[in-house]
Structure 1
Amino acid sequence: MTQSAAPADRPTSARSRWRYGVPVVCLLAGLLLAATHGVSGGDEIRRSDAPRLVDLVRETQSSMDRLAAERDALTEQIDSTHGKFSDAALAAMQARSQQLAAEAGFEPVRGPGLVVTLTDAQRDANGRFPRDASPDDLVVHQQDILAVVNALWSAGAEAIQMQDQRLLTTSAPRCVGNTLLLNGRTYSPPYRITAIGDAAAMQSALAAAPLVTLYKQYVVRFGLGYTEEADDDLQVVGHSAPQRLRYATPTGPIGY
């Protein structure tokens, strides 16, 4: 009998590919799983409870519908409340508003009054100031302006304007170097103060004010400027900037 041939062995190269290919595939699969875990933070990437775009759109639309309904309800409430007032009541409120605006200084005022002008000292003909004068002696200060304004108020001034601004109870000029700051704006001399009222009474109040008298002494000694001019037709502007009062304290009993 003839002996059958032994089965041929597989090629060595084929066995080598399988030997190294399987570990490489497993390694790549492990890297992919690790990257997926890092991106998802340990959670499922496609969870069933993740919000969908269509759900977000529906939620936004529902919120807009709710806000629109609230707007319509408030508009209807305003219209119904406004309708409760008669034309006479509205006219009375408008008149009261105008009266308060005038009393608060928001309306311009015209009439007789007094104009006081203060300015810094000027050099003499030789271009020099007095030798014994310090820099503070040669300029108008905050206390000088306040002394004049307070004297005018005490004489019953109806309205006062400094430069181009109406003075209110909350207005106060402040020194900033050789300029003055008033309601957020800076001004340089000369400082022009216009007051509506009895000119003679205001001049008497200025003459009796101690700080104004002291300023006039500096006028004579150091050459500061000071003038008073009465006029039968002056105009004071209304205050235009909005007023924001943070605190209010009653100064006495209020009568109704």
Structure 2
Amino acid sequence: MPERTATARGWKIAAPLVLAMCGILLVISAKTSGGTDLRGSDLLEMPELVRAEERRVQQLAAQADELQAEVDSLTESRADDDTRRVQEQVEALRPAAGMTPVEGPGLTVTLDDAPRPVERQELAPNTHIEDYIVHQQDLEAVMNALWAGGAEALMVMDQRIGYTSTVRCVGSFLFLEGRQYSPPYKISAIGDPEALQAALDQSDAVSWFRSASDALGLGYGVELAETITMPAYETALTTGSRL
């Protein structure tokens, strides 16, 4: 009987502690999640779908790192069958992580600045000179729509977009991975061309740019292609650092 009494007393003490810990964990989880919505409506911020794709590629790269480490270990031990198996898994992950060149059907979107008014009085009503150029959020809107449309890979100008890629616009110039580009800007995507086109048509942010294109003369065009070839992402994924 004393043993049963001691056990009951222990549960009376432990149960509230367990419930309290569960409550703390739920609060921490809620605060950590912060209600993030990958399909948020703020179309002028860095697209959440792009960030989600970056996180997915980071996970793939991490898996590739782990498998490569296993390959190295197995190579040292000369376990030939295991080495080949793991190496095949590594190679299967490389395309999805952007570590190899890819090609396939898709489309290319071209964005261009409008001819700029020579004098301020030539501006359209309620517009500013900055309205006549392509901005960072315009590029991001297109990228966001293409990811949403199922793009398997993206390329801006001549560079493959990877998990550490940073697209920045300053004035009429685009800066990407230490290189400077001038308009027109080309964004290519590999995937189902019809699905990609539909995603562009359904994007509110892209529709806004197209409206501005009609009103102010900004350049917007879409070209479908049976085959688009993209290079490997140039940043060293296995270390997570920039070249």
Normalization by structure 2: what TM-score? 0.62
Distance 1:223 1:129, change over 3 A: farther
**Alpha-carbon shift at residue 180 of structure 1 (Å):** 1.5
CA deviations on 1:102-145 (whole Å, 9 max, x unpaired) are 11111111111011000111258xxx964444221111001000
Q: Contact 2:123/2:129 (CA < 8 Å) preserved in 1? A: no
1:232 maps to which of 226, 232, 237: 226
**Alpha-carbon shift at residue 97 of structure 1 (Å):** 2.1
Task: Give distance in 2, aligned partners of 1:129 and 1:179.
Answer: 23
Task: Find the counterpart in structure 2 of residue 103 from structure 1.
Answer: 96
Q: What runs of 5+ residues in structure 1 fail to find an aligned partner?
A: 1-78, 247-256
Task: Give distance in 2, aligned partners of 1:84 and 1:199.
Answer: 47
SS of the residue corresponding to residue 116 of structure 1 reads strand
CA deviations on 1:179-236 (whole Å, 9 max, x unpaired) are 1121222211111111111111111111111110110111011100000011111112
Q: Contact 1:129/1:222 (CA < 8 Å) preserved in 2? A: no
For residue 210 of structure 1, what is the amino acid of its counterpart? D
Distance 1:80 1:145, change over 3 A: closer
- Bigger Rg, which one: 1
Distance 1:237 1:226, change over 3 A: same
Q: How does 1:184-203 map to 2 (within 5 A)?
A: 184-203=178-197
Distance 1:145 1:86, change over 3 A: same
Q: How does 1:34-183 map to 2 (within 5 A)?
A: 82-122=75-115, 130-132=123-125, 133-183=127-177
2:201 maps to which of 200, 204, 207: 207
User: Could you say which structure has the higher helix fraction?
Assistant: 2
Q: How does 1:7-22 map to 2 (within 5 A)?
A: none
Task: Give distance in 2, aligned partners of 1:80 and 1:119.
Answer: 51
CA deviations on 1:63-109 (whole Å, 9 max, x unpaired) are xxxxxxxxxxxxxxxx9974423222222232222222211111111
Task: Give distance in 1, aligned partners of 2:86 and 2:188.
Answer: 32
Task: Give distance in 2, aligned partners of 1:99 and 1:180.
Answer: 33
Distance 1:210 1:190, change over 3 A: same
Normalization by structure 1: what TM-score? 0.59
Distance 1:169 1:123, change over 3 A: same
Q: Contact 2:116/2:132 (CA < 8 Å) preserved in 1? A: no
When the two chains are superposed, the root-mean-square deviation of aligned CA atoms in Å is 2.6
Q: Contact 1:160/1:196 (CA < 8 Å) preserved in 2? A: yes
SS of the residue corresponding to residue 77 of structure 2 reads coil
Task: Give distance in 2, aligned partners of 1:167 and 1:80.
Answer: 31
SS of the residue corresponding to residue 156 of structure 1 reads coil
Calculate percent identity across the aligned residue pairs.
Answer: 41
Q: Contact 2:75/2:83 (CA < 8 Å) preserved in 1? A: no
Task: Give distance in 2, aligned partners of 1:86 and 1:229.
Answer: 50
Task: Give distance in 2, aligned partners of 1:241 and 1:95.
Answer: 22
Task: Find the counterpart in structure 2 of residue 241 from structure 1.
Answer: 235
